[in-house]
Amino acid sequence: MIWSKARVEFLAFLFLVGLGLALRHPGLLVLAIPLAWHFALGVAFAPGNPQRKLKCERTVQPRRVREGEEIRVSLALRNEGKEAFEVFMADQGFPGFTLVDGRPWETRLLRPGESFDLAYTVRATRGVYRFSAVTVEVKGPLGLLPWRGEIPCPAEVVVLPRYEELSRLELPARRTLPIPGTTRARRGGLGLEFYGIREFRPGDETKRIAWKAFARRGIPVVVEYEEERAADVAIVLDVRAKAYRGAAPELFDHAVRAAAALAHYHLRQGHRVGLLKYGAYLDWVFPGYGKRHEERILRELAEAQLGESEVFEELGRLPTRLILPGSLIILVSPLVLGDEEVIGKLVARGYRVFVVVPDPASALLLGMEESAEAELSRRILGLERWTLLRRIRRTGATVLEWDVRQPLAPLVRRIRPGFRVWR
């Protein structure tokens, strides 16, 4: 396919010559000469393939942002050839980008050795965006046979989920790790909370002797504090599209933010945190500690997408062998009927299960005005979910039903072990 300008000129020339010959009219034949000459010059000076002559550099600042923050993308296109090009450059766009300032396209005349910069600012939604190239159109002086193609210009920007800072979540795992942390280990040792007193043994520090109890009992006793240790936390993010039906992607974004907030909180507390994206696929981030691990988890969450898979349609295929018994499993999911059985099995196997249920009805109502109809529909949906949540409550799992219009942190702060459902 030859581009339209060259084609039109060529066809016009052929038409003039053909008509001139048909009518035996020399004037028409002579009239075709300027057209043919224009076409010939345009083709002769058409740019060759400029891919080796044009170099592009991309700068993305910053490369790691949170949802809603701005990203400045700068492109520098340099002409390393020996001829001038008229260049139209357009950067690839992403559906998650909203242009804030500048524009991602520009036309310039690039002389040899010259370069031109293009900069624009976007606000991005959660995701990992991989820029690969810029689209370039290079025209010759008469605009015939332009070259259209891509100049490689790779870069990557990670837009992490925006999450709340959780101040407290008193939901200990059933089994702890032999590493200091913040989870009460139900055993005497070093800690802050009073655990009990016991007889003095050789080797105990004298400053731990409870003098009043010693005076009462007549034998030396020491104070024991409850040991605080790290625990294993597995965050399971439900990415089954059917669980979010009707409210995706807004509800899913809230679920991702909740998972990020919980991961951040537990890592900050010194726990070993793993992440499992369950649904369309199995994506397991092995448990780990520290800031680098947090970055890994946040990146995985940034890339999380909904999907469907027949294999992982039910929660029953949850790979529990990856999660140590006694760990705290935090399931972030709007849930579907049938999930309650799996949650019950998890509790029976010795896991402490905490289910964060982003309320689909609240996500649906997020963009709607408050009205009687909206309230009624919310209540009907609420009743349906109430049945499901009641069954889960009976299994012994802790359930937090989260109205996504409200912040998560205050709800989480109210959770105490022993309480089952918080709304």
Interacting residues with other proteins (CB under 8 A)? 1-2, 4-5, 8-10, 12, 14, 16-19, 21, 23-28, 30-31, 33-38, 41-43, 45, 48-49, 84, 86, 88, 103, 106-109, 139, 141-143, 145, 147, 149
How far apart, in whole angstroms, are the C-alpha atoms of residue 156 and residue 141? 35
Shortest distance (Å) from residue 54 CB to other proteins = 15
Shortest distance (Å) from residue 70 CB to other proteins = 19
Nearer to other proteins, 90 or 409 (CB): 90
Shortest distance (Å) from residue 75 CB to other proteins = 13
Give backbone dihedrals phi and psi of 271, rounded to 5 degrees, phi first: -85, 165
Nearer to other proteins, 114 or 375 (CB): 114
Nearer to other proteins, 35 or 241 (CB): 35
How far apart, in whole angstroms, are the C-alpha atoms of residue 249 and residue 262? 20
Strand (E) positions, 68-139?
70-79, 85-91, 97-102, 105-110, 115-124, 127-139
Shortest distance (Å) from residue 145 CB to other proteins = 7
Nearer to other proteins, 47 or 334 (CB): 47
**Cβ-based neighbour number of residue 274 at 10 Å:** 22
**Edge-to-edge strands, sheet with 54-61:** 54-61, 70-79, 115-124, 97-102
Do the Cβ atoms of 233 and 273 come closer than 8 Å? Answer: yes
The backbone region for 19, taken as left when phi is positive above 0, alpha when psi lies in -120 to 50, beta otherwise, is alpha
- Token pair recorded at residue 382: 């609420």
Shortest distance (Å) from residue 111 CB to other proteins = 10
Nearer to other proteins, 1 or 192 (CB): 1
Nearer to other proteins, 3 or 214 (CB): 3
DSSP letter (8 states) at residue 327? P
Shortest distance (Å) from residue 132 CB to other proteins = 16
CA distances (Å), 326 to each of 345, 347, 349, in order?
13, 9, 8
Residues 194, 195, 197, 200, CA torsion sign:
negative
Shortest distance (Å) from residue 21 CB to other proteins = 6
Nearer to other proteins, 50 or 279 (CB): 50
